Amino acid sequence: MNRSYLFVPGNRPERFAKALAAGADAVIIDLEDAVAPAEKPAARDAVRAWLAPQHPLLVRINSADTAWFADDIELASLPGVAGIVLPKAEQEADIALLRERGAPAVLPLIETALGLHQALALAQQPGVERLLFGSIDFSLDLGLHEGVEELQYFRSHLVLASRLAGILPPVDGVTTALDDGAQILDDARRARRNGFGGKLCIHPKQLAHVHAAFAPTAEEVAWAERVLQAVETTNGAAVALDGKMIDRPVILKAQAIRNEASRSIAA
């Protein structure tokens, strides 16, 4: 499960390889917000020329209500495209169209009130890998201050919709701060506590903080090992640890922490 998704502007092909080498779990070439309207056709051509199977990545195309969508979706089936990020996702038909055009996977970006309302239906569409939260555009659409409390309900809604659809946990929106490591770490840790499985990034220097936030803490790993050791010594019999009964959900949580810790070490 990817923890970090790094955006790179679609009109800067000289940065594509650097983005792939930056250490992100996934890279998104951005043809939408990062590219001015006059540059979009040239950026699309640059992406098409650079794509290759040996360096698969995601492509964020322009939304379905724009003049560029029809041409952008022609990229969906090209070798090297691991999936399409669909901004302003609202309609199931748009996802179906991308799949028809050969998109290996679709990642709907929830950025509007209608998109959130449709989140479960979008998440249930064949080929949808996970939901992404475009928190900045979403706040603008609803006239909200982009704060923790103001967006908490909407974040939880995406976590619930993803779980009901049986797909991977959603990915939280970007942190605009580039040099404030503490804020990036805090934002990512909050996303993990709230049930998110990853975070969108706009600069390589954010990656280390995001990866650290989504890795189990030393305290969590120590607790998980104590739980699993206690279970092993009793051969499956009921056992208490720190005055609390260890039951199946606790064991599963401990196993998940151990697995994630092993993955983080391997990464």
Residues 100 and 156 reside in one and the same domain: yes
Residues 206 and 225 reside in one and the same domain: no
* Average pLDDT over every residue of 18-23: 97
Residues 138 and 242 reside in one and the same domain: no
Residues 208 and 223 reside in one and the same domain: no
* Average pLDDT over every residue of 179-196: 96
Residue 236 or residue 78, greater confidence: 78
Residues 238 and 118 reside in one and the same domain: no
Residues 145 and 246 reside in one and the same domain: no
Residue 100's pLDDT is 98
* Average pLDDT over every residue of 74-88: 98
Residue 148 predicted with pLDDT over 70: yes
Task: Give the list of residues 6+ apart from residue 22 with CB closer than 8 angstroms, or none.
Answer: 6, 204, 207
Mean pLDDT is lowest, of 31-45, 104-118, 140-154, for: 140-154
Residue 267 predicted with pLDDT over 80: no
Residue 237 predicted with pLDDT over 70: no
Residue 190 or residue 147, greater confidence: 190
Residue 184 predicted with pLDDT over 80: yes
pTM, two decimal places: 0.88
Residue 236's pLDDT is 62
Residues 139 and 37 reside in one and the same domain: yes
Residues 208 and 239 reside in one and the same domain: no
**Euclidean distance between CA atoms 97 and 106, whole angstroms:** 10
Residue 266 predicted with pLDDT over 60: no
Percentage of the chain exceeding pLDDT 70? 97
* Average pLDDT over every residue of 165-190: 96
Mean pLDDT of the chain: 93
Interval 111-144: pLDDT, tens = 999 999 999 999 999 999 999 999 999 999 999 9
Residue 181 or residue 260, greater confidence: 181
Residue 184, domain CATH = 3.20.20.60
Residues 204 and 224 reside in one and the same domain: no
Number of domains in the chain: 2
Residues 8 and 84 reside in one and the same domain: yes
Residue 221 or residue 42, greater confidence: 42
Contact yes or no for 84/108 (Cβ under 8 A): no
**pLDDT tier at 222 (50, 70, 90 boundaries)?**
confident
Residues 76 and 148 reside in one and the same domain: yes
Residue 44's pLDDT is 98
**pLDDT tier at 247 (50, 70, 90 boundaries)?**
confident
Domain that holds residue 10: 4-213
Percentage of the chain exceeding pLDDT 90? 78
Residues 24 and 66 reside in one and the same domain: yes
Give the phi and the psi of residue 28 in degrees, each rounded to 5. Answer: -115, 115
Residue 71's pLDDT is 97
Last residue of a domain, one of 213, 235, 252: 213
